[in-house]
Amino acid sequence: MRILLVEDDPMIGKSLHTALQQDRYTVDWVKDGVAAKLALDTADGAYALVLLDLGLPRKSGLDLLRGIRRAGNKVRVLIVTARDAVADRVAGLDAGADDYLVKPFSLDELAARMRALLRRDVAREDNVLRNGDLALDPSSRTLTQAGAHVDVSAREFTLLAALLERPGTALSKAQLEERLYGWGEEVESNTVEVHVHNLRKKLGAEAIRTIRGVGYVIAKA
């Protein structure tokens, strides 16, 4: 699941970026409102959630948020800011934020707020990706096979989610790398192959098929 982090403070941004990656999210981190607008304009709906600071250079968080909503973009937006006045909270929520969290906050609370917002997005009946005996829940970040829990790494989870979103459709190595890595992260040449190999060991050799010259696919059950 891809998250857009909009935070200009380098220390806060780095800590959030690290924590979100450890919590199995793919994170793109931008440091001003103009860069955030560009990211959203070119994302083609790839972001499940935006974590938005208000005091941003070049374009304020509120102006960015108003523009997002005027454009009809319904992406979930969680404001994370030091502005704690009631008027600021009202302005943020009226501008279209789905939630508002005041700094400093605990990472556990942030994670809980994010899960709550993502549960509201019911693009699928219960928001669980199902195919055959596999069930992957993006909200709780859990995977089961035939009802039994399967322990997977953050990137294995992300790769499998990408394939389960489009069962029967082959995704190229480049498409999967785009889901696995945020901006500025170094892409290791054999990462996709390693994760596919590990997932086959955990789920069965036939769980993910290789289409030579094309990519990888999970057969539609």
147 in the same domain as 115: no
Q: Residue 126: what pLDDT?
A: 58
203 in the same domain as 138: yes
Question: By residue range, what is the domain housing residue 84?
Answer: 2-120
136 in the same domain as 116: no
Q: Residue 207: what pLDDT?
A: 94
10 in the same domain as 104: yes
134 in the same domain as 113: no
3-state class of 12 per DSSP?
helix
Concatenate the DSSP letters of all residues of 104-168 into one string.
S--HHHHHHHHHHHHHH--SSSSS-EEETTEEEETTTTEEEETTEE----HHHHHHHHHHHHSTT
One digit per residue, the tens of pLDDT, for the chain of length 221 reads 789 999 999 999 999 999 998 888 889 999 999 999 999 998 877 888 999 999 999 999 999 999 999 988 989 999 999 999 999 999 999 999 999 999 999 999 999 999 888 877 544 445 788 999 999 988 778 999 999 999 999 889 989 998 998 889 999 998 888 888 776 667 777 889 999 999 999 999 999 999 988 999 999 88
Query: What domain count does the chain have?
Result: 2
Find out whether 208 and 200 touch, Cβ atoms under 8 Å: yes
The span from the CA of 182 to the CA of 21, in Å, is 9
135 in the same domain as 113: no
Of 120, 151, 179, which marks where a domain is finished? 120
Alpha-carbon dihedral angle through residues 115, 117, 121, 126, given to the nearest 10 degrees = 40
161 in the same domain as 112: no
Instruction: Give me the CATH number covering residue 168.
Output: 1.10.10.10
The span from the CA of 65 to the CA of 4, in Å, is 13
81 in the same domain as 44: yes
Pairing of strands 215-217, 129-131: unpaired
